[in-house]
C-alpha cells in the first residue's frame, strides 16, 4: 500500500508519540512524491518540535515551516547522496555518515542519517551500512530515500520499515518534460498523421539514446573507481564479475529510463482524454490548450484506442521483441 506524504508523516508522528518509532525507514516513490520533504518533516518532528513559533496577535500558534532537508544537516543530522562522476555512493562516504551516529546525542534529541538515492550505494558501501542497520546505535534514526527500492540488497530491505509514497503526478525530470513539450509542438499540425508519429518516435529514440550513453559512462566510471580501489586485493575473476554486475545494472537503469519516457506519452494522451470528457487533474497543465484542441478533433472512442495502443506497446517492450520495431508500430498506432 502506498501513502501520501502527509499520511506517511502522520504514521511516523503517531509511532513517535507512542515511543514505538522504528530505527530505520525506507521512503520510496517516484520523483515528485515528496521523499526529501517527508524526511525533513520527520527530522523536524524529532529535533525541532520544541522550537515553537510563539503566538500571533490573536493568540493562535504560529506554525513554523519545515526547512529543506539540506538546511537541517549539522551535528545531529547527516546526509549523503551521489557526488562522484559515476553517481555512486562509496564506502568511505557511508563511513563518514555513520561516524557521528556513535556519539551521545543531547537529551531529547535524535541522531539522524539520511541516504538519498540509496539504491546508488556501491556493493561495499551497502554491506558496510548493513552492519549499522543490524546493530543501530541508541537514539538514532536511519532514513533511506529511493526511487528504485528493488535495487537495494534484500537484507537492507528486510531491516527497514517500508513507506512507499504515491506518485507525485506529472514527471519532474528535464528529459521527461522535454518529451512532453515535443509532443505538444508536433501535435497541433501532425497528430493523427504518419509524419507526426515518426517525428515523435525519432525524438523519443534520440532522447533514450542520450540517456543510455550517460548511463553507460556512469557505469564505466563506477567500475573504474572500484577496480582502482580493489585491484591490489582481488583477482581478475572478481573484476570480471564486477563487469557483469555493472552491465546488468546499466541495462536495468536503461529500462527504467525507457519506462519513464513511456509514462510521459501515456500521461499526455490521458490528458487529452480528460479534456474530452471534461475531467480535471491534468498532469501537464501547461499544455492544456494543445490537449484541449486535440480532444476537440477526435471522438472519445478513437482517443481511448490510441491510449490502449500505448499500453500495448509498453507490454510488448517487456518481452523479447525488437525495440525499434515495437516503438515504430506503437507510435504509428498511438499518434499516426
Provide the residue-wise pLDDT of the chain in tens; the chain has 336 residues: 678 888 899 999 999 988 888 999 999 887 778 899 999 999 998 887 544 445 555 555 445 578 888 888 888 899 998 875 567 888 888 999 888 888 888 888 899 999 998 988 888 888 889 988 988 888 899 999 998 887 888 899 999 999 988 765 555 567 788 888 899 999 999 999 999 999 999 999 998 888 888 888 877 777 777 677 666 555 566 666 667 777 777 787 788 788 888 888 988 998 899 888 887 778 888 899 999 999 999 999 999 999 899 889 988 888 888 999 999 999 999 998
In degrees, rounded to 5, the angle at the alpha carbon of residue 333 between the alpha carbons of residues 329 and 336 is: 105
Q: Are residues 144 and 206 in the same domain?
A: no
pLDDT of residue 195: 94
Are 143 and 39 a contacting pair, CB within 8 Å?
Answer: yes
CA–CA separation, 238 and 227 (whole Å): 10
Show which of 119, 140, 164 is a domain's final residue.
164
Task: Please spell the DSSP secondary structure of 7-68, one letter per residue.
Answer: HHHHHHHHHHHTT---SEEEEE--TTS-HHHHHHHHHHHHHSTT----B-TTSPBPPPPPPP
Strands lying side by side in the sheet with 161-164: 77-80, 111-115, 140-146, 24-28, 161-164
Q: Identify the bridge partners of residue 46 per DSSP, sorted by sequence position.
A: none
Q: Are residues 265 and 331 in the same domain?
A: yes
pLDDT of residue 39: 93
Q: Are residues 328 and 216 in the same domain?
A: yes
CA 24 to chain centre: 19
A 10 A CB-CB count for 250 gives 19
Q: Are residues 9 and 102 in the same domain?
A: yes
pLDDT of residue 124: 84
Q: Are residues 146 and 227 in the same domain?
A: no
- pTM of the full structure: 0.60
- Among candidates 222, 211, 207, which has minimal Cα distance to 251? 211
Q: Are residues 60 and 153 in the same domain?
A: yes
Average pLDDT of the chain, as a whole number: 83
Name the DSSP class of 137.
P
Are 255 and 261 a contacting pair, CB within 8 Å?
Answer: no
Longest dimension (CA), the chain: 73
Within a domain: 252: yes
In degrees, rounded to 5, the angle at the alpha carbon of residue 97 between the alpha carbons of residues 94 and 99 is: 110
- Among candidates 323, 316, 92, 292, which has minimal Cα distance to 209? 323
- Distance (Å) of CA 77 to CA 13, 80, 89, 191: 18, 10, 18, 51
User: What's the domain range around 322?
Assistant: 174-335
> What is the tally of structural domains in the chain?
2
Within a domain: 10: yes
Within a domain: 169: no
Q: Are residues 146 and 189 in the same domain?
A: no
CB proximity list for 102: less than 8 A, separation 6 or greater: 137
Are 121 and 129 a contacting pair, CB within 8 Å?
Answer: yes
What is the CATH classification number for the domain harbouring 127? 3.40.50.300
Q: Are residues 224 and 304 in the same domain?
A: yes
Q: Are residues 43 and 87 in the same domain?
A: yes
CB proximity list for 176: less than 8 A, separation 6 or greater: 260, 261, 263, 264
Taking the CA of residue 5 as centre, how many other CA atoms within 13 Å lie in the half-sphere pointing to its CB?
19
Q: Are residues 99 and 182 in the same domain?
A: no
Task: Please spell the DSSP secondary structure of 102-113, one letter per residue.
Answer: GSPPPTT--EEE
pLDDT of residue 213: 87
Q: Are residues 148 and 188 in the same domain?
A: no
Within a domain: 140: yes
Are 26 and 157 a contacting pair, CB within 8 Å?
Answer: yes
Residue 115: which H helix or E strand, with range?
strand 111-115
Q: Are residues 13 and 118 in the same domain?
A: yes
pLDDT of residue 103: 84
pLDDT of residue 62: 47
Amino acid at each position: 500500500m502506498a501513502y501520501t506524504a502527509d499520511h506517511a508523516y502522520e504514521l511516523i508522528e503517531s509511532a513517535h508519540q507512542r515511543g514505538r518509532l522504528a530505527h530505520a525507514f525506507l521512503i520510496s516513490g517516484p520523483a515528485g512524491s515528496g521523499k526529501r520533504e517527508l524526511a525533513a518533516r520527520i527530522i523536524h518532528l524529532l529535533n525541532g518540535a520544541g522550537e515553537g513559533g510563539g503566538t500571533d496577535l490573536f493568540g493562535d500558534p504560529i506554525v513554523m515551516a519545515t526547512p529543506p532537508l539540506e538546511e537541517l544537516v549539522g551535528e545531529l543530522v547527516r546526509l549523503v547522496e551521489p557526488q562522484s562522476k559515476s553517481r555512486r555512493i562509496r564506502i568511505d562516504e557511508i563511513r563518514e555518515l555513520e561516524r557521528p551516529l556513535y556519539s551521545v546525542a543531547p537529551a531529547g534529541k535524535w541522531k539522524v542519517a539520511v541516504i538519498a538515492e540509496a539504491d546508488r550505494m556501491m556493493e561495499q558501501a551497502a554491506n558496510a551500512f548493513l552492519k549499522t542497520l543490524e546493530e543501530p546505535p541508541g537514539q538514532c534514526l536511519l532514513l533511506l530515500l529511493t526511487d528504485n527500492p528493488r535495487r537495494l540488497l534484500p537484507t537492507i530491505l528486510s531491516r527497514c520499515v517500508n513507506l512507499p509514497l504515491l506518485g507525485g503526478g506529472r514527471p519532474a525530470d528535464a528529459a521527461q518534460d522535454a518529451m512532453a513539450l515535443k509532443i505538444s509542438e508536433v501535435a497541433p499540425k501532425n497528430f493523427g498523421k504518419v509524419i507526426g508519429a515518426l517525428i515523435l518516435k525519432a525524438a523519443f529514440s534520440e532522447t533514450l539514446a542520450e540517456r543510455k550513453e550517460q548511463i553507460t559512462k556512469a557505469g564505466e566510471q563506477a567500475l573504474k573507481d572500484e577496480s582502482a580501489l580493489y585491484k591490489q586485493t582481488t583477482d581478475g575473476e572478481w573484476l570480471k564479475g564486477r563487469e557483469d554486475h555493472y552491465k546488468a545494472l546499466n541495462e536495468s537503469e536503461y529500462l527504467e529510463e525507457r519506462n519513464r519516457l513511456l509514462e510521459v506519452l501515456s500521461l499526455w494522451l490521458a490528458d487529452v482524454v480528460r479534456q474530452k470528457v471534461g475531467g480535471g487533474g491534468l498532469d501537464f497543465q501547461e499544455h492544456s490548450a494543445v490537449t484541449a484542441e486535440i480532444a476537440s478533433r477526435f471522438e472519445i472512442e478513437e482517443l481511448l484506442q490510441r491510449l490502449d495502443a500505448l499500453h500495448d506497446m509498453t507490454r510488448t517492450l517487456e518481452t523479447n521483441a525488437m525495440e525499434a520495431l515495437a516503438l515504430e508500430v506503437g507510435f504509428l498506432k498511438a499518434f499516426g
